[in-house]
């Protein structure tokens, strides 16, 4: 049997090289050049054309190239019996914690203002902000959110977290469910979104959510663009209610050149690289699940299709 590499627009070479090191005898077929669909038992997938995954009658496992799986759970043509797994991997997790810490500290320590002052040759002392009395809220306490929360806590901030189900995590004030969202947002000077996009989270960061955040707060979205209502975010920034938005993900990617986020003085745009799946780190986790499915053992990091993540 063979593995299918199905990721339009992603360079296969580094992945094939990492697989050649990890599974030297394995055959990898790069989509769309698939001479024998019946020979495929595993598909490694990112943003597949809808319906494509029905073409492989002997498929036994679908692995996302990333942590996010909305491209899989929203494809109704993927046969229901095929398990899907996603990437949970330490380098990716630490990368996301770095991103959240970087941007919280950037705002907390006035870095944007200091850089602007340097360009204008202005020597201006800015009042230090008190770390222990500043709360950073993390939306989503999963693999990425929990790690980010722990790093932020280690820096001395107060940390709050919000999830779907109740959680207990040392040093983190935990909130869950729609009823506790407002209380969570209301204490957070920085809110970092690390939620999956699902029918429940799409549009969650809207006018009401921004109004619930304290005046002068900072929103970071490193999850998925459609969780934010762009027009509501722009209105909250323009009214001065929100201080800043750091955005790594967008409704449309690449972010269209005409989008107002590009030139907004209080928005930082990063090109969906908060945390990347790097072949040498990720391939061993894929190989583990390939071995497991082929030997009939339980899979790791299974996606729950009904839940949507
Ligand atoms: P996990 O599945 O491990 O965690 C998701 C968290 O979100 C869980 O705590 C879950 O709650 C919570 N959640 C889900 N739905 C809701 C809801 N309706 N209300 C409240 N909380 C909810 O995912 P990861 O941490 O691995 O990844 C999160 C997302 O980050 C990915 O889905 C992806 O979109 C994005 N991502 C972005 C990257 C980038 O470079 N920008 C890189 C990698 C991922 P519970 O614990 O109760 O289930
Ligand atoms: C992911 C991503 O989901 O890169 O892993 O966004």
Query: How confident is the model over 51-109, as pLDDT tens digits?
Result: 999 999 999 999 999 999 999 999 999 999 999 999 999 999 999 999 999 999 999 99
pLDDT of residue 82: 98
Q: How confident is the model at residue 115 (pLDDT cuts 50, 70, 90)?
A: very high
pLDDT of residue 309: 98
Q: Are 85 and 60 in contact (CB under 8 A)?
A: no
SS3 content of the chain, % helix, strand, coil (to 5): 35, 20, 50
Pocket test for ligand 1, best of 164, 275, 301 (most atoms within 8 A of CB): 164
pLDDT of residue 233: 99
pLDDT of residue 106: 98
Residue nearest atom 33 in ligand 1 by C-alpha distance:
68
pLDDT of residue 79: 93
Run of H or E including 207: helix 207-212
Mean of pLDDT values over 118-144? 98
Vertex 73 angle, CA 271 and 23, to 5° = 75
Pocket test for ligand 2, best of 68, 222, 274, 278 (most atoms within 8 A of CB): 68
The pTM assigned to this predicted structure is 0.98
Vertex 84 angle, CA 78 and 86, to 5° = 130
Per cent of the chain over pLDDT 70 is 100
Per cent of the chain over pLDDT 90 is 100
pLDDT of residue 21: 97
Q: Find the 111 Cα to ligand 1 centroid distance in Å.
A: 28
Q: Find the 66 Cα to ligand 2 centroid distance in Å.
A: 4
The conformation of residue 203, written as its DSSP 8-state character, comes to T
pLDDT of residue 42: 98
Q: Are 34 and 59 in contact (CB under 8 A)?
A: no
Q: What is the pLDDT of residues 139-188, one digit of tens each?
A: 999 999 999 999 999 999 999 999 999 999 999 999 999 999 999 999 99
Mean pLDDT of the chain: 98
pLDDT of residue 56: 97
Catalytic (active site) residue 305 = no
Q: What is the pLDDT of residues 212-258, one digit of tens each?
A: 999 999 999 999 999 999 999 999 999 999 999 999 999 999 999 99
The conformation of residue 67, written as its DSSP 8-state character, comes to S
pLDDT of residue 174: 98
Q: Find the 123 Cα to ligand 2 centroid distance in Å.
A: 40
Q: Find the 223 Cα to ligand 1 centroid distance in Å.
A: 7
* Residue 68 beta carbon below 6 angstroms from any ligand 2 atom: yes
């Amino acid at each position: 049997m063979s593995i299918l590499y199905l990721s339009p627009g992603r360079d296969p070479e580094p992945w094939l090289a990492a697989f050649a090191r990890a599974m030297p005898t394995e055959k990898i077929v790069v989509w769309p050049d698939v001479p024998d669909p019946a020979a495929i038992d595993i598909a490694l997938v990112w943003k597949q054309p809808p319906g494509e995954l029905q073409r492989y009658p002997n498929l036994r496992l679908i692995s996302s190239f990333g942590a996010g799986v909305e491209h899989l759970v929203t494809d109704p043509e993927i046969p229901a019996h095929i398990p899907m797994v996603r990437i949970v991997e330490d380098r990716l997790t630490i990368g996301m914690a770095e991103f959240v810490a970087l941007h919280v500290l950037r705002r907390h320590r006035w870095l944007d203002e200091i850089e602007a002052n340097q360009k204008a040759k202005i020597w201006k002392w800015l009042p230090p902000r008190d770390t222990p009395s500043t709360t950073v809220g993390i939306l989503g306490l999963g693999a990425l959110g929990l790690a980010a929360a722990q790093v932020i806590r280690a820096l001395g901030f107060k940390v709050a977290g919000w999830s779907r189900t109740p959680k207990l995590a040392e040093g983190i004030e935990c909130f869950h469910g729609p009823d506790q969202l407002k209380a969570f947002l209301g204490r957070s000077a920085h809110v970092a979104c690390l939620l999956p996009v699902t029918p429940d989270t799409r549009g969650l960061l809207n006018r009401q959510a921004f109004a619930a955040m304290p005046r002068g707060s900072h929103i970071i979205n490193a999850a998925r663009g459609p969780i934010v209502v762009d027009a509501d975010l722009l209105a909250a920034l323009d009214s001065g209610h929100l201080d800043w938005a750091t955005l790594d993900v967008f409704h449309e990617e690449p972010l269209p050149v005409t989008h107002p986020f590009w030139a907004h003085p209080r928005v930082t745009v990063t090109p969906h690289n908060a945390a990347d799946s790097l072949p040498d780190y990720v391939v061993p986790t894929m190989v583990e699940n390939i071995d497991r499915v082929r030997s009939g053992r339980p899979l790791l990091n299974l996606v729950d299709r009904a839940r949507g993540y």
